[in-house]
Structure 1
Amino acid sequence: MFQEPDYRENLSLMLSEVLHDIGVNERIVMRRRRGYMLMETMRNITCRLTDLNGTIYYLGSQSEGTTTIGLDSDIDILFCNHDVNLIQDWSEWEHGKLNCLMIQDENTTPGYCFLQLLRHDEPLPVTVIPDEHHITDRRGRILYKNTMINQFLQGAQQQHGPSIAEQGQPEFCDRDMVIAYPCKSWSQSAIGWLHRQGIGRWPTQEMRRYAARTGCFVVPTGSKVSEYPELEWRLSTSLTERYLMFNLNITQIRCYVLLKMILKSFLNPGDEINISSFMCKTVILQCIENTESGIWKDNNLFTCLTYCLLELHSCVQNDCCSHFIIPENNLMAGQFTAETKHELSKNICELIQNDRQWLLSIDIDYLGPRLQVKLNRVPPAVYYFPSSFEMYEHVLTLGNVNIAIIIRKNHKVVLNHLHNKNIRTMKQYIGKLMTFSDNGNRLEHTAFKLLAPFLFTTYGSILASSSIAENNQVSPQAVLWLSAGLNSDISSSRLKSASVFYSTGDKGESQLILKTHRNPKILFPFPRFTYCRPPKSVPLERGTSKI
């Protein structure tokens, strides 16, 4: 199957060049991943500073780098709430915690489970319904309803399956927030995947070991074909899936991006979602597992794409797209009607039979017109396309703005948490934050360097206000802390410092602070930044809690 005519090889190379130009290349993929992993790290540092018992993960196409500007993918966020202890065996029960037993029996859809509420003082089931989020089933078990997600909806937010959808501002992506609970151990229904071996020996044993260590989640949504849609919770292996996507080569990523462009252009008209991008991800992971790794090269991209379309067509024909890690979970169960199935099957067949013609009609990121220019069908002067460098600058700028927004939000969260607390608590917060500089990994080091200066400036302002109120002077400690945070952003830190001295009548020092040259790029961690450590002359009290 993979011995193709020269025109397919040439088309594959041209298509790879076009995808490179629109941002599907190693440089931009890695830039997207580093940016979202940094934002994830910053938000989790803030969770620890504010004693929030949860972990935030950025998932999906944006964090994987498997999107383009034109695809306009949502930002998928998962908040893992550690207040609940999910167990599959009674030996995993923990005293004093909110424990729930995962139940998978003849009444649950494959890939889903019920959550039975257990007592916190001894390993026994609860016998009295505590609130409206629980219900008693026919066997007398107190089960946790997945409709609990409704209590988190605010304002213009909407529920989309297990997620809370929030529309982004103009030029920014929409966000989907999923609330999840962590499983105590790897799901029993996914054990078989840990020992499965494909033709290309992919995923590797290292990837499977990572999956077993990382575990999985449950998210509040039931199957479309379930008899108990309000009681079922879906098993999620999101972290393992993200790790697998991080280990794809650039040809495999390009193939996945093309599949999503096909969905948006031909198979999902308007706002209708017949086939989800997650189904496409499942299809390409299955194709990678069932083929030799040597075929996934740029000069074979079109053939790999055709193979994926054939696999997708088979899924539609059989009404079955098996979850990559939990094969018993059919992602297409109840997804579309017989009429829609016939239409989808016909459309996919036309895409396969019409060969390259449909590629030329994809308008997303001007992929079709770009390909026509590459194939010399039209002269370059007919169209103007942003260069690869311009595309990178756009992604870089948007990524930097997103990072700046997260820094601002995190600072606001910390300040709200400190409301009505004394100055000693502020110093303890900075002490906690320092542990990420002293003991953290590279991402935590970078996150610290971005978050800390804002707290330094705030702490310096508090000390300055106190000393000015006492003797109309700025104390040496306040000056040191203000200086440590002076270059945290373009203007606000300098304005704060200048206003401190202006309030004491020292206009000369205020002018000096405002006139001092600075590099406006220091806010962003890519490609480089400057940073001031906290003043050594001021004793810093470390937080006593373990981070």
Structure 2
Amino acid sequence: MFQEPNYRENLSLMLSEVLHDIGVNERIVMRRRRQFMLIENMANIECRLTDLNTTYYFLGSQSEGTTTIGLHSDLDILSCSHDFNIIQDWSEWEHDVNMKFNYLMIQDENTTPGYCFLQLLKDDEPLPATVIPNEHHISDSRGRILFKSTGIYDFLQGAHQQHGPSIAEQNPGFYDLDKLIAIPFKSWPQSASGWLERQGIGSWPTQEMRRYATSTGCFVVPTGSKVSEYPGLEWRISTSLAERCFILNLNITQIRCYVLLKMILKSFLNSQDEINISSFMCKTVLFHCIENTESGIWKDNNLFTCLTYCLLELHNCVQNDCCSHFIVTENNLMAGKFTAETKHELSKNICELIQNDRQWLLSIDIDDLGHRLQVKLNRVPHGVYYFPSSLEIYEHVLMIGNINIAKVISEEHKYVLNHLHNKNIRTINQSVGKLMTFSDNGNRLEHAAFKLLAPFLFTTYGSILASSSIGENNQVSPQALVWLSAGLNSDISSSRLKLASVFYSTGDMEKAELILRHTEQQYNSYPVLPFCCCNIWFPAVSAEFKRLCNEQSEDCIKHIIALCVRFIQEEINCVPHELQYEMFRSTQDDMIHRDNNEGFWMDWAVVDSLPLLYFLQYKIYRHLQRHQDQQQALSKLTRTIETGENLRHRETALNILGQCMEQENRPQVALKCYMLSLQQRAKNNAASIHICKLLSGFMNSQ
């Protein structure tokens, strides 16, 4: 099978080079994985801080590094709820006041292989429940109270597009999300016990990988089999964490083979309207092939032969209508997936791919793979086709990853602030205590995630303490200064601006001015990207920003990202009065036009970093009677609002500019600012308050 002519070896090497150039290489794969593992850890830190009984896992091609720009892969997020206890043996039943329900996993003659029913148990003793608790449960013909797999999504709020067991969410410019709800169970599924003893030719997976797989546990996800008589009651058994372990232990040739299989699916076997063969089936085929071959064949100079072997295995699966799940082998992934006509068409197409050797590779448009390969094989001279250089691709991929890290930092900070809103100091202290446990415990990735997220929370905590002490005696307590100082290196500007605002609020203009001057110098020293998750769109990015993302680690975002500055109402004494109006922007009518899940930030004062910097300079220089500097700051504020293409809270910037114009005795310009602000956001906008105040003042003067 593996004794092929030399051209196959040459083709394999050229194909490996092309995949290296488009980002399927050790460096980019490892950087992608690290970026998403940091995001996963930050999301789970936020869950712990906000008492959310959930663990998130970021799965799939993006987090595995098994994708390219042209494949447009989704990001799969598994949301694992710990509010349920699923058992396979009565000894696993738990009496826990914090647990909502105990369920017994049932696999019998009525369940499809690889799927199960969940039977509700009593909460006070290990016996079957006899009373239906709500509409999400049903009694079957045997009197068992079963949990509907369709019921769990009723707990989700918001409008989402559902397909399969997941929830799809569009994020223009970012990765589209597939959010999958799952319930964990601790013990290894009995239906997968045979896999633990199975040993293939390649001695893969290793015993260490098997031990890890069994120790991480499994999930059930709310979806039934296509061939089930009870699809609304079935739950699929998922071994996602074990599969992630396998993927993370593949060598680069195996990863490249998997990427090529996905390109083949997209180019030749699936249509846009119908997915007959999923990437998960290809992953499973790859696992079976690795298990049943010698490990030495998976090398760059043998890539094309390995790919052919995988296609032959896929063809056998289609011919036999059977692709066995790698771990739960009784689960046929192709059961009920396609008709006899589709099967014939798929079989014919795969045969043509195998028989036509390299010709079909040259016709793959994804990531210009075919054109790149033609150039490598000297089929066409350089310059005939234009495609991005490998450097451009690496910069783009790593830039996207860093912006996603910034997006998640901004999101998790926002959710923690929402949790702290309306809480007393004691509760806030407890949250900070939880946060500090991450500095002492956990693995290196958890530490790295903590270092990215924690400074923003340190600054908020310090600002809350400062607001309390300013309210009491117009001074900043030493404890508040300690926390504010600990958060200074969160990003290029936002935490420094909060500290400057604190000093401004106590009348310490010299210290505030010094911080602002230093912040402006830092801001001008780097290709800074303003960013905020309150209003999501993909930002315009400079070439220098991309270069730094490629050359430096994720820590560089502390120097090249400027997140918006957020003040919750517990920080009100640290907020200039011109910004305090933003905390009261919403009328009762406006509230109707707010997203209940995401619009809570509208009860805060939120402003982009650069407009706040120039606004504070304007106010401080006015107080210090440095009129030339004051006017220069006002000009910078105006220019930033007019030309800053990445401002996320332009309406707020216009509102503070309007108030500056009022203080300059330019009411007509102020009114124009407020009207422009309303064009940016017609509802939930403090501009309405400012217009009323301005017109009232004008009427009174008359």
Deviation at 1:150, TM superposition (A): 3.0
CA contact (8 A) 1:207 1:244 kept: yes
**Which stretch of structure 1 is more off in the superposition, 48-57 or 81-90?**
48-57
1:360 aligned to which of 350, 357, 362: 362
Trace 1:370-385 onto structure 2 (pairs within 5 A): 370-385=372-387
Check conservation: 2:491, 2:557, Cα contact below 8 A: no
Structure (1 or 2) with the larger CA radius of gyration? 2
Q: Does residue 106 of structure 2 align to residue 103 of structure 1?
A: yes
Following TM superposition, by how much is the alpha carbon of 1:28 offset from its aligned partner in structure 2, in angstroms? 0.6
Matched positions, count:
530
Which one-letter code corresponds to 2:67 in the other structure? Answer: T
Change (3 A) 1:530 1:307: closer
Q: Which residue of 1 aligns with 2:371?
A: 369
**Cα drift, residue 515 of structure 1:** 1.6
1:380 positional shift: 1.1
Q: How far did 1:409 drift? A: 1.2
Instruction: Out of 9-18 and 55-64, give the one that drifted further.
Output: 55-64
Give 1:309-348 correspondences, 5 Å limit.
309-348=311-350
- Give the match's secondary structure for 2:78: strand
- SS of the equivalent of 1:380 reads coil
Q: How does 1:289-328 map to 2 (within 5 A)?
A: 289-328=291-330
The answer to whether the 8 A contact 2:402-2:557 is kept is no
Tell me the amino acid that sits aligned with residue 89 of structure 1.
Answer: D
Give secondary structure in 1 for the equivalent of 2:393.
Answer: helix
Query: Does residue 217 of the first structure (1) align with residue 244 of the second (2)?
Result: no
Query: Pick from 113, 116, 130: which aligns with 1:127?
Result: 130
How is 1:254-273 mapped onto 2 (pairs within 5 angstroms)? 254-273=256-275
**Cα distance in 1, alignment partners of residues 343 and 243 from structure 2:** 27
TM-score (norm 1): 0.94
Match of 2:87? 87
Task: Kindly state the Cα deviation for residue 527 of structure 1 after the two structures are TM-superposed.
Answer: 5.3
**Retained in 2: the 8 A contact 1:456–1:485?**
yes
**Larger relative contact order (Cα-Cα within 8 Å, sequence gap ≥ 6):** 1
8 Å Cα contact 2:146-2:233 kept in structure 1: yes
Q: 1:109 touches 1:223 (CA, 8 Å); kept in 2? A: yes
CA contact (8 A) 1:80 1:179 kept: yes
CA distances 1:422-471 after superposition (whole Å, capped 9, x unpaired): 12322222221111111221112111111111111111211222222233
Unaligned runs of 5+ in 1: 532-547
Counterpart for residue 202 of structure 2: 200
Verify the 8 A CA contact 2:76 2:179 in the aligned structure 1.
Answer: yes
State the distance in 1 between where 2:557 and 2:339 align.
58
Secondary structure at 2:162's aligned position in 1? Answer: strand
Counterparts of 2:321 and 2:256, CA distance in 1: 26
* Aligned residue in 2 for 1:526: 553
Give 3-state SS (helix, strand or coil) of 1:367's partner.
Answer: helix
Encode CA deviations 1:21-47: one digit per residue, 9 max, x unaligned: 000000011011111111111111111
> How far apart, in 2, do the equivalents of 1:466 and 1:215 lie?
46
Structure-2 change in CA distance of 1:522 and 1:44 (3 Å): farther
Can you list the C-alpha shifts for 1:469-515, whole angstroms capped at 9, x where unaligned? 23333333323322221221222222222222222333322221112
Deviations 1:73-132 (A, max 9, x none): 100011111111101111111113421000000110000000000001001111111111
CA contact (8 A) 1:186 1:216 kept: yes
Match of 2:75 in 1: 75
The question of whether the paired residues in 1 share the 8 Å contact of 2:120 and 2:145 is answered with yes
Amino acid across the alignment from 1:321: C
Is the CA contact (8 Å cut-off) linking 1:57 and 1:77 kept in structure 2?
yes
SS at match of 2:492: coil
Residue 298 of structure 1: CA displacement? Answer: 0.4
Within a 5 Å distance, the mapping from 1:441-456 to structure 2 comes to 441-456=443-458
- For residues 484 and 211 of structure 2, what CA distance do their matches in structure 1 show? 47
Contact 2:35/2:554, CA 8 A, preserved across alignment: no
> For residue 162 of structure 2, what is the amino acid of its counterpart?
Q
Q: Is the 1:430–1:452 Cα contact (8 Å) retained in structure 2?
A: no
**Cα deviations across residues 296-330 of structure 1 (Å, max 9, x unaligned)?**
10000001101111111111111111101111111
Q: Distance in 2 between matches of 1:445 and 1:213?
A: 23
User: Secondary structure at 1:70's aligned position in 2?
Assistant: helix
- The answer (yes or no) to whether the contact 1:522–1:529 under 8 Å persists in 2 is no
Q: Structure 2 CA distance, aligned partners of 1:156 and 1:388?
A: 39
- Say whether the 8 Å CA contact 1:522–1:528 is kept in structure 2: no
- Superposition deviation, residue 359 in structure 1: 0.6
Partner residue in 2 for 1:542: none
1:500 matched to which residue of 2?
502
Task: Tell whether the 8 Å contact from 2:49 to 2:435 is kept in structure 1 after alignment.
Answer: yes
| Aligned ranges 1:14-29 → 2 under 5 Å | 14-29=14-29
Amino acid in the other structure paired with 2:105:
M
1:469–1:181 Cα change, 3 Å: same
The alpha carbon displacement at 1:241 in A equals 0.2
Partner of 1:403: 405
Contact persistence 1:166–1:176 (CA under 8 A): yes
Alignment counterpart, residue 419 of structure 1, candidates 418, 421, 426: 421
Aligned to 1:253: 255
Aligned to 2:152: 149
Write the distance in 2 (CA, Å) between the matches of 1:60 and 1:118: 34
SS at match of 1:381: coil
| Alignment-derived partner of residue 45 in structure 1 | 45
CA RMSD of aligned residues (A): 1.7
State the 1:390 CA deviation: 2.0
Could you tell me whether the CA contact under 8 Å between 2:105 and 2:118 is conserved in 1? yes
Other-structure match for 1:539? none
Matched letter for residue 476 of structure 1: P
Could you say which structure has the higher helix fraction?
Answer: 2
Residue 162, structure 1, aligned to residue 165, structure 2 = yes
Letter in 1 for 2:131: V
* Contact 1:102 1:113 (8 Å CA) reproduced: yes
Aligned to 2:119: 116
Q: 1:158 corresponds to which letter in structure 2?
A: Q
Point out the more displaced range, 497-506 or 137-146: 497-506
Measured in 2, the distance between the counterparts of 1:139 and 1:73 equals: 44
Q: Decide whether aligned partners of structure 1 residues 371 and 490 sit closer, same or farther in structure 2, where only a CA change above 3 A counts.
A: same
